Amino acid sequence: MENLTEENKKDEVADFSGNYIEKFQDKNAEEFFSGALVSWEKQGDAFVFHGELASLEIRIIASDILKFRHGIDGYFDDDFSYAIDPSFSPEQTNYKFEDQKAAFVIKTDVLKCYISKTTLQTKILTLDGTAVLEDEKGFHWQDHKHYGGNISICTRVLHQDEKFYGLGDKTGRLNLIGTKRELWGTDCYGYGNESDPVYKNIPFYMGQHSQVGYGIFMDNTFRSFFDFGKERKTVCSYWSQGGEMRYYYIHGPKLIDVVSKYAKLTGKPQLPPKWALGYHQSKWSYYPESVVRKLGDEFRSREIPCDVIHLDIDYMDGFRCFTWDDKKFPNPKQMISDLKAQGFKTVVIIDPGIKVDKNYSVYQEGIAGDHFCKRMDGDLLKASVWPGLCHFPDFTQKKTREWWATLFDGLVEDGVDGVWNDMNEPATFEDGTFPNDVRHDFDGHPGSHRKGHNVYGSLMAQSTWAGQKQFMQNKRPFTISRSAYAGIQKHASVWTGDNMASWEHLKIANIQCQRLAASGISFAGSDVGGFIGSPDGELYTRWIQMAVFHPFFRTHSSGDHGDKEPWKFDQKYVDIVRRFIEMRYELMPYIYSVFQHHSETGVPMIRSLHLEGHIDPETFYREEEFFLGDHLMICPVSEPDKSSRKMYLTSGQWYNYWTDQLIDGGLEIKVDTPLDQIPIFVRQGAIIPKQPKMQYVDEFEFDTLTLECYKPSADTSSTLYEDSGDGYDYLSTAGYVKKHLTSLIDGSNWMITQETEGEFESAYQTYEIKLHGLQQMPAQIVVDNEDLTAQVKFEGSISVLLVNKDFKQVVIKT
C-alpha cells in the first residue's frame, strides 16, 4: 500500500497484519443523493430514471427478480459480471408500468416496486401490500478521498423482527442481525468465532419478516460491508469501496426459494465425480512416496473406507507449481497408478505463486505470454509465498486463464484426479495480499487490486477446473478452492480454511457449512478435527460424525500439530469413526441423489432449520440442527462428555434413526447421545436408499439395494438418482435413471409406488425393502398384483422383503 500521510491516516484503521485498511465509511464526508426526477425512459425490459445527480435503472429479470443499477452523474458502468451464469437469461415476464402522481409503479405477477419522483427512493411490496424492502436513505455516495471514485451506499428500513442470513462462510451467529460484516478475502490462519473478514466473498444475504423472505445480491467485487442493525438498530445497509452500486432483489416468499433462484442466477454446479463425495485424507504433508503408499495400505488393512489422498506443497520441486520433487516422488505416475489399483484417487495442491526462476518453464511461459500481475508503474509484482519470491498470474485476463488451463496437461497425464487451490485470496507473506496498486485486466475493464482482489480466487479455480476438463477427456473435474466469489459453485467445491482443533471450531464449521449452502455453495466442508492443534479422540469422533453429513468430507491437518489419521486415536474411537465413515458410503445413493437434485434445481444440499421452517419462529435462531436433503435431520454433539442433548424437530413427525421411535415435530426434545451416536432423524414417509458398505465408491457391483421405507401419514416423495458416477453420459436420457418413489396411505393400506425416467441400467437387480413403523407383521403384501406375504421376514420391528428393482407398486395391508 502507498505511504499514508498523517492527515489521511485518521481515515484508516490497522488490521491484524499491520497494513492499513479502509474504515467502513467516513461519517464526516459529504453524502450525495440522486435528487428529484428529471426524466425517464424505457429500454426493453428496463426503465431508467434520471435524477438531478444520478440515474436509476430497474430491469425486470423475472416476475420475482429485479435488477437495480445506480449511475452517478448519469453514467453507468459496463454491465459486466464474473458471478452471473453466462447461460442465464431473463424470463419473459408480464408486468405493468404506471405513472402515478408521486411515484412510478412496476407491477409483476408477484410484486410491486414504487419509485419516488422526488428522491428516486424505492419500495418493494407484495401484491397484498406488505412492504418487504424499502429505502431508508436509499442509494447515496461519498467521494473516496484517498483512491478516487466513490463509496456507494444503500440503506434500508430494518423491519421489526427481521432476520438475516447468508454472506458465505462467515463465523459468528447464523442469524446476522445486530452484526456488521466485511468482504475482503483474507488468509486468516487460526481464525476465531469473531474473526472478520475470512476467506470468501459472497455478497448475497437473505432477509425475512412478515412471513416473507427475500434476497439481495450486490454484484460488486470491491471491498464491501454489510450492517444488519449494528450501527443503527432500525437500518440495514450495505456499501462498497468502489464500483457501481448494482444489486438484484430476489423474492421468495420462502427463503429456500430465494436460494434456489439465486443459484439459477449465479449458476448451478455440474455433478462431480461420485468418488469426490467419499472420504478424503489430507495432511501438510504426506511425503515421501513411501509414506503415501503406507497411508493407503493402512486404510485398506484397517478397513476404514477412503477414496482420496491429498498431496500438499511438499510433493513439488522447491514448491514450484506443476512439478514433482524427484527425490521424494521418483515415479509419481507409477505411484498414482498403484494407488488407483487400491481404489484411491489423488488430489494435488496448486497455489497461484510462480517462483521467480529463469530455469523454470512455467515462469518462462508466464513472462513470455505477459501473464503476470504488474504494479501501477509497469513493474511485475513480486511477493513471497512458499517458493520464495514469486510472480502471480492475472486470472482476470482471459488469455491468462486459458494459459493456466494448459499447464494441467502433465499432472493429468501423471494420473492426478483433482486439484486443490490454496493461498488464492490471494495471500502473500509480506503484506497479507497484493498491494492496492497492482493492476488487473478484468476482462477489458481494467482496475486495481481493490477491484480484483475479491474475485481472484474464483477465477483461479475456474481456470483450474477448465484445465482439468480440457485434458481429462470424458471425466468430470474436481477442484477445491479456499477463496471464492459469488458463482464459485459452477467450478469448485470449497472448505472453510485453517481452523483449529477445538469444540468451538466444530460448532463454527457446522454454521459455516450451513451458511455456505444458503449462499449457493453446497459442496463445502471443514478440516475435520481442526487444521491447527491436536484433537483428543472424542473431539475427532464427534467431528467425523457431523462431517459424514457434509457434502465435502475431508480430514486435514498441519503435520507439526500432530497426525489425524483415524487410527491415531484409542481403539474405541477408531471403531466408532470406522462405523460412521462406513455409514457415509452406505448413504451414498441418497447423498448422490441429493447432489443431483441440487445441481438441477439449486436447492441447497444441507439446510438450516430456518430454510425448512420458514415462518416457524423456533427455527429463526437455531444453529446446530440441519437437514441433508429433504429427509434427514442431523444435530451434531458440540460439547465434550455429553450423553444427551436438546434439539428442535421441525413440524411433522420424525423417526429416530437409531430406535425407530416416531416423535412429533414442532417441539424441542432431549436426545440420548452416547459416544457412538449423534441425533439423526428421518422424515415420516421418507424412503432412504442404502448400499452395502464399501472401502471406496463403486468398489464392487452389488445385487441388492436397500430401501429404508418409513411409514407415512401423508403422500411423501423420494428420489433415487443413478448414473455411471463419472463422465458426461448423464446429460442424455441413456446415461441416467431417476426413480421417483412415493409412499402414501390409502385407507388401511400403505402403498409404495415407483416411476422411472431415463434409460441407465442399474447393476443390481433387486431391492431389499425394509418397512419401518409397523408394530407387527403385515397382514398381506402385494407387489404388482402378486402376493408375496409368505416371503416377508419380520426382524424386530422391521419387515423385510426382496422385490424386483422394476416394481411399480407395493401394497402393504396392515
Q: Which grid cell is 202?
A: 459472497
State the catalytic residue, choosing from 307, 414, 417, 425.
Answer: 425
The per-residue pLDDT for 26 is 62
State the catalytic residue, choosing from 182, 314, 325, 422.
Answer: 422
pLDDT (tens digit per residue) in 221-280: 999 999 999 999 999 999 999 999 999 999 999 999 999 999 999 999 999 999 999 999
The per-residue pLDDT for 18 is 28
Closest to 629 in 3D by CA, of 645, 606, 647: 606
The backbone torsions φ and ψ at residue 762, rounded to the nearest 5 degrees and listed phi first, read -65, 145
The per-residue pLDDT for 112 is 98
Residue 238 to residue 69: CA distance in whole angstroms: 14
Quote the strand ranges of 87-189, DSSP E.
95-99, 103-108, 111-116, 122-126, 131-143, 150-157, 163-166, 180-183
- Edge-to-edge strands, sheet with 716-723: 716-723, 736-746, 749-758, 809-813, 780-783, 786-787
Cβ atoms of 543 and 528 within 8 Å: the answer is yes
The per-residue pLDDT for 27 is 65
Residue 550 CB burial class (10 angstroms; 0-12, 13-18, ≥19): buried
State the catalytic residue, choosing from 182, 289, 314, 498.
Answer: 498
Q: Which residues of 118-156 are buried (b: 16+ CB within 10 A; e: fewer)?
A: ebbbbbbbbeeeebbbebebbbbbbebebbebbbbbbbb
Q: Which grid cell is 657?
A: 434413526
The per-residue pLDDT for 675 is 98
DSSP string for residues in 646-659: EEEE-SSEEEETTT
Q: Reduced to 3 states, what is the DSSP secondary structure of residue 102?
A: coil
Residue type at 547? Answer: A
Residue 600 to residue 792: CA distance in whole angstroms: 37
Residue 598 to residue 260: CA distance in whole angstroms: 9
422 is catalytic: yes
Cβ atoms of 769 and 707 within 8 Å: the answer is yes
The per-residue pLDDT for 7 is 31
Residue 268 to residue 797: CA distance in whole angstroms: 41
Q: Which residues of 255-282 are buried (b: 16+ CB within 10 A; e: fewer)?
A: bbbbbbbbbbbbbbbbbbbbbbbbbbbb
Strands 798-804 vs 793-795: parallel, antiparallel or unpaired: antiparallel
722 is catalytic: no
Closest to 610 in 3D by CA, of 257, 367, 189: 257
Residue 773 to residue 780: CA distance in whole angstroms: 16
The per-residue pLDDT for 814 is 87
Angle, CA 494 vertex, CA 492 and CA 495 arms, to 5°: 160
Closest to 80 in 3D by CA, of 246, 223, 255: 246
What are the beta bridge partners of residue 391? 354
Residue 428 CB burial class (10 angstroms; 0-12, 13-18, ≥19): buried
Residues of the chain with pLDDT under 70: 1-27
Residue 327 to residue 348: CA distance in whole angstroms: 17
Q: Which pTM does this prediction carry?
A: 0.95
73 is catalytic: no
Cβ atoms of 622 and 608 within 8 Å: the answer is yes
Element (H, E) at 395: none
Cβ atoms of 718 and 735 within 8 Å: the answer is no
